[in-house]
Chains A and B, each alone.
Chain A
Amino acid sequence: MKHTLVTTLLASAVVFGNALSAPTTLGEAPVFTLTNSNGASVSLNQFEGKYVVLEWWNKDCPVVKRHYGGNIQGLQKQFTKDGVVWLSILSSAPGKQGYVLGDAANDAMKSKEGAPSHILLDADGKVGKMYNAKTTPQMVLISPKGEMLYNGAIDNMPNGNSETMSKAENYLVRAYNEAKAGKEVTIKTSQPYGCGIKY
């Protein structure tokens, strides 16, 4: 599964150099079903017709904490208000940093006033690996047709801090604005930064 994704990413990246056959997306977003923090089953398919954001989350990662100083909560509110589905995915393995059960995940998110549509539990890391997710945070944008539009870092400032964050270019926002305007997403991937996902 992981190999398929890597191949897809590479294939699209290779063609990217040729303007005539430039792909419009990173290919079909791999479908998945996970249990959310309230015990319900959530599948990517059920959001057909809507934009979907995947956010890799680890409440104890300092880089996540930096973005939960208000940045991510603001995005969650702005996107979900616009009808976007925001899925915060927890791929930490049992016993590793950031691994929590449903109630604790809800409490942690609530304490930060985070507002994702769902917190999804991916303790075996299957979905994380399907999406080639490497760090927390890492962001993916999926189109209403189920195509992957962006997969990578949240913004262009790995060395940012709370003061510089407003000056950073947020790649997720950029991709969403372009896609919504009917344009091709110009930055489809970037090197994600943050804590390694604790698979």
Chain B
Amino acid sequence: MGKTVKIVLAGEGGQGVQSVAQIIAEAADEEGKQVLYIPNFGVEQRGGVSVAYVQIGDGPIGSPKFEKGDIVVALSDRAVQRTGRYVGPKTAFLYDSSIPVEKGDLPGDAGEILPIPAIDTAKKELHPRVFNILILGAVLGATGVVPVDRARLAIEKKLGYKFEKDPKLRDLNFRAMDRGMELVKKMAGQRNGDTPSLFANNKQII
């Protein structure tokens, strides 16, 4: 990995964006990468939009916050509004396709805009509870920042105690991650032919 990959995840409190960020960060740390993860916090944390900033690279990581993300994920309409400022011409902007957005709401200068039917897919094919793990899969599918096996281990570490009680959950979570990866690849592929342009300058990706 050459440059530092910058990720912004935003959603409503309870959607699990901090858990996703933490799993990605832990997996990257285990992989021996330099990682910096910071949640937003403060008054807005209670009932507001929850934002997670993750940076992963080989060299030392600079400031905890940054101007533009390589990938920005918004999981609610308020999150779409809130994260627009982190989107630039080199950013892939992922949002849940069930969010009712007007054209003007989406960041105009995004390198790529990818609506992902994450909420629907989780509800219909899996279980609403694994929605965030599906998002995790989408982020991994889009960036390749950590190998899938490593992400599985990180999920196991975080949720293992739940899997002990109900082993079906393990399979459900891993399927959700795979499904998320498929969705983002399909969506990116549809828009750009076989190789999504947003990943073209990042050779290791997909």
Q: Do A and B bind each other?
A: no
Q: Which residues of A contact B (CB under 8 A)?
A: none
Q: Which residues of B contact A (CB under 8 A)?
A: none
